[in-house]
């Protein structure tokens, strides 16, 4: 990994020049976008953008050919929107994936790929740390605020770094576009956790906190929900949407037993419940008369919840559904098979909002730009909880190449969390009894090939490694070279130990860097804020008559402080500790 993760290995002077230029461009972008003179008019012309994000779900949906159950609300989005059939997360697990969505960067380029960076320190012996993107990096939501959008996130973050206080206008279980000022467009993310892997645990039930989707913006009802997000209903209280005796499509790497069929039922039942929740949110959009002025993204944060799906970089762990519905159902029913990566979501959302791709982003605008579609997607796997691996992958529309940097160990890792799933327990039982088929036992082999190549069209479950087949030697060589190029391009060094990674992120220091307190200056009645820490974002609030606004503002230019008002401000570079909050005038 390069000293400044996410950058190519140019000369130091060149990197410095690029960094200064990027910071200048960023300042102009945010300053221009926030200019009050024409912002109100331009903002009203921009579409609202709504992300509907479910968890741990492959494209096991009717629009993708899986007719096991009906999902009327998701299917209606597909009928009225564009269905993308080649969309991939850069990781098979949520936190790295969400880092890429928030920043438009590959997790392994910024120290975000180990799951998680803030936990399992008793096992790793490492300090808690955060991903550290390059100084000029900002979150997508910050750019959207700069473009005049009201931004909300309801409610999951999990980015592998602490978001700055000015990342969102609202963030939490009460966040809703309905709280925005009149006439202001919104960028809202609504997270649905019912399909999460933990929804397969016993005893079975739905997460109670997910009922908030049915309560619209009713603060009292939402506040009455359990504060602990993992608290669930009992199975008898959970809605039964799916018959338990359906003929569920069990993939060949899982055994067909009652325990597995019960988990398949839970998975589809959770999906059906999520579809109902999505319908409730869409109904709110219709009630507000906003459906035809809103671009809707529906997708999952990575592949499915079952063993040999989540955490792996087979397509079962990476491939996700993506449906985009445009105002007035533009492109209704279209199927788009271009390759799309999560790093493309941020540039594309900025493009739809009338902005430009930020300099630090590593993805492409796949909707509003006419550039040549991407030829490859990339993925990476490293530590999962207390167990470390090192895997990288590249894929075109047909072939996937996987490189294993720790071939001496097997694919299966005894992750405690996953072993709460009855299907995982069933796999381990049958393995001990020697009753697994070859396809099911493959995951448990003692070692891995360094090189793996799969024809994902002929072999969608990636069970037949053709890396040694002479007929595919040219494809193997091409993808190996492409993987090398990508690793160099983003500054990813898979062989680097996590301890060395932390030292690199912290510039050789033993403790997490801290953002230096911002400085305040008064010039001709204008308050100017600055931070000595390169790349720090400054947040501020103006308090008057004991009233303090909920949202922190993003500082972009000097402003006038009203008489008898107090300024509260803080600086924060992503991945660093934030500075202490300060007051001006001091009390």
Instruction: Encode pLDDT of 215-232 as tens digits.
Output: 999 999 999 999 888 899
Q: What angle do CA 226, 229, 232 make, to 5 degrees?
A: 75
Q: Residue 203 has what DSSP assignment?
A: S
- Between the alpha carbon of residue 79 and those of residues 48, 70, 215, 272, 301, the distances in Å are 20, 14, 26, 18, 22
Which residue is it, tokens 């338990």? 244
- The DSSP secondary structure of 214-249, one letter per residue, reads GGTT-HHHHHTS-SSTT-B--TTTS---S-TTS---
Rounded average pLDDT over 39-56: 81
Q: Is the pLDDT of residue 192 over 90?
A: yes
Q: Is the pLDDT of residue 25 over 50?
A: no
- Max distance between CA atoms of the chain, in angstroms, equals 81
- Quote the crossing angle between the two packed helices 12-34 and 36-45, to the nearest 10°: 80
The two tokens of residue 37 are: 């003179």
CA dihedral angle for residue 115, residue 400, residue 480, residue 451, rounded to 10 degrees: 80
Among 264-268, 280-284, 515-519, 582-586, the minimum mean pLDDT is found in 582-586
578 vs 515: CA distance, rounded Å: 5
Q: Is the pLDDT of residue 259 over 90?
A: yes
129 vs 121: CA distance, rounded Å: 10
Q: Is the pLDDT of residue 26 over 90?
A: no
Greater pLDDT, 443 or 25: 443
Q: Is the pLDDT of residue 209 over 60?
A: yes
Q: What is the mean pLDDT of the chain?
A: 92
340 vs 299: CA distance, rounded Å: 12
Which of 94, 295, 391, 505 is catalytic? The answer is 94
Domains 12-381 and 519-584 equal at CATH topology level: no
315 vs 298: CA distance, rounded Å: 19
Q: Is the pLDDT of residue 40 over 60?
A: no
pLDDT of residue 43: 55
Does residue 384 have a cis bond before it (omega within 30 degrees)? Answer: no
First to last CA, the chain: 45
Rounded average pLDDT over 118-129: 93
174 vs 152: CA distance, rounded Å: 9
Helix residue spans in 446-586 (DSSP H): 473-490, 498-505
pLDDT of residue 39: 46
Percentage of the chain beyond pLDDT 70 is 92
Rounded average pLDDT over 234-245: 96
Q: Are the CB atoms for 207 and 225 separated by under 8 Å?
A: no
pLDDT of residue 545: 87
Q: Is the pLDDT of residue 41 over 70?
A: no
CA 197 to chain centre: 16
Q: Are the CB atoms for 1 and 111 separated by under 8 Å?
A: yes
Residue 327's nearest CA partner among 78, 48, 75, 79 is 48
Give the model's confidence band at 370: pLDDT under 50 very low, under 70 low, under 90 confident, else very high.
low
201 vs 213: CA distance, rounded Å: 22
pLDDT digits (tens, 9 = 90+) for 391-443: 999 999 999 999 999 999 999 999 999 999 999 999 999 999 999 999 999 99
Q: Are the CB atoms for 194 and 304 separated by under 8 Å?
A: no
Q: Is 94 one of the annotated active-site residues of the chain? A: yes
Q: Residue 207 has what DSSP assignment?
A: B
CA 362 to chain centre: 14
- Among 3.30.565.10, 3.40.720.10, 3.40.190.10, 3.40.630.10, name the CATH number for the domain at 12-381: 3.40.720.10
Beta bridge partners of 341: 88
Rounded average pLDDT over 123-152: 97
Rounded average pLDDT over 181-208: 97
pLDDT of residue 64: 98
- Between the alpha carbon of residue 442 and those of residues 244, 309, 312, the distances in Å are 29, 14, 14
458 vs 337: CA distance, rounded Å: 17
Strand 451-455 versus strand 399-404 pairing type:
antiparallel
pLDDT of residue 287: 97
Q: Is the pLDDT of residue 250 over 50?
A: yes
Rounded average pLDDT over 302-316: 98
293 vs 311: CA distance, rounded Å: 37
353 vs 19: CA distance, rounded Å: 25
Q: Is the pLDDT of residue 321 over 80?
A: yes
pLDDT of residue 372: 84
pLDDT of residue 587: 64
Domain edges within the chain = 12-381, 519-584
Strand 582-584 versus strand 566-572 pairing type:
antiparallel
- Domain 519-584 in CATH 2.60.40.10: yes
Q: Is the pLDDT of residue 154 over 60?
A: yes
550 vs 420: CA distance, rounded Å: 40
Among 12-21, 89-98, 238-247, 552-561, the minimum mean pLDDT is found in 12-21
Residue 71's nearest CA partner among 190, 194, 186 is 194
């Amino acid at each position: 990994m390069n000293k400044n993760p996410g950058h190519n290995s140019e000369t130091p002077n060149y990197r410095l020049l690029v960094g200064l230029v990027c910071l200048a461009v960023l300042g102009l972008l945010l300053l221009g976008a926030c200019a009050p003179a024409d912002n109100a008019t331009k903002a009203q012309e921009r579409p609202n953008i709504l992300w509907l994000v479910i968890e741990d779900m492959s494209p096991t949906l009717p629009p993708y050919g899986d007719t096991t159950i009906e999902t009327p609300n998701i299917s209606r989005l597909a009928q009225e929107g564009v269905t993308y059939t080649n969309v991939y997360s850069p990781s098979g697990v949520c936190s790295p994936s969400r880092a890429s969505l928030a920043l438009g960067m590959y997790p392994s380029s910024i120290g975000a790929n180990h799951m998680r960076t803030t936990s399992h320190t008793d096992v790793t012996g490492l300090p808690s740390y955060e991903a550290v993107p390059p100084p000029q990096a900002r979150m997508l939501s910050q750019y959207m605020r700069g473009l005049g959008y009201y931004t909300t996130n309801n409610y999951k973050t999990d980015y592998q770094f602490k978001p700055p206080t000015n990342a969102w206008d609202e963030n939490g279980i009460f966040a809703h576009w309905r709280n925005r000022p009149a006439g202001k467009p919104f960028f809202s993310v609504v997270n649905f956790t019912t399909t999460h892997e933990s929804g397969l645990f016993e005893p079975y039930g739905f997460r109670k906190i997910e009922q908030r989707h049915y309560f619209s913006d009713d603060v009292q009802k939402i506040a009455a929900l359990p504060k602990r997000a993992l608290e669930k209903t009992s199975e008898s209280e959970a809605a039964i949407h799916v018959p338990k005796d359906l003929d569920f499509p069990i993939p060949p790497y899982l055994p067909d037993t009652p325990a597995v069929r019960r988990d398949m039922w839970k998975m589809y039942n959770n999906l059906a419940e999520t579809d109902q929740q999505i319908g409730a949110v869409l109904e709110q959009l219709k009630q507000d008369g906003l459906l035809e002025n809103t671009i809707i993204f529906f997708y999952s944060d990575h592949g499915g919840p079952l063993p040999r799906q989540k955490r792996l970089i087979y397509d079962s762990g990476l491939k996700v559904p993506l449906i985009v519905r445009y105002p007035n159902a533009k492109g209704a029913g279209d199927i788009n098979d271009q390759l799309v990566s999560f790093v493309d979501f941020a540039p594309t959302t900025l493009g739809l909002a009338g902005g430009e791709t930020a300099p630090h982003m590593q993805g492409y605008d796949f909707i509003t730009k006419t550039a040549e579609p991407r030829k490859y997607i990339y993925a990476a796997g490293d530590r999962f909880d207390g167990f470390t691996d090192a895997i990288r992958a590249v894929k075109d529309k047909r072939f996937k190449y996987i490189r294993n940097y720790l071939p001496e160990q097997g694919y299966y890792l005894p992750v405690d969390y996953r072993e709460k799933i009855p299907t995982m327990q069933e796999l381990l039982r049958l393995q001990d009894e020697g009753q697994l088929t070859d396809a099911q036992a493959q995951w448990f082999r003692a070692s891995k090939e360094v090189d793996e190549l799969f024809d994902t069209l002929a072999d969608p479950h990636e069970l037949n490694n053709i890396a040694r087949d002479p007929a595919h030697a040219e494809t193997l060589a091409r993808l190996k070279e492409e993987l090398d190029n990508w690793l160099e391009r983003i500054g990813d060094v898979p062989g680097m130990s996590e301890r060395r990674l932390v030292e690199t992120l912290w510039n050789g220091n033993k403790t997490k860097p801290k953002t230096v307190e911002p400085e305040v200056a008064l010039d001709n009645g204008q308050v100017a804020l600055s931070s000595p820490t390169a790349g720090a974002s400054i947040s501020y609030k103006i308090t008057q008559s004991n009233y303090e606004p909920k949202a922190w503002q993003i500082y972009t230019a000097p402003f006038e402080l009203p008489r008898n008002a107090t300024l509260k401000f803080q600086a924060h570079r992503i991945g660093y500790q934030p500075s202490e909050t300060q007051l001006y005038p001091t009390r």
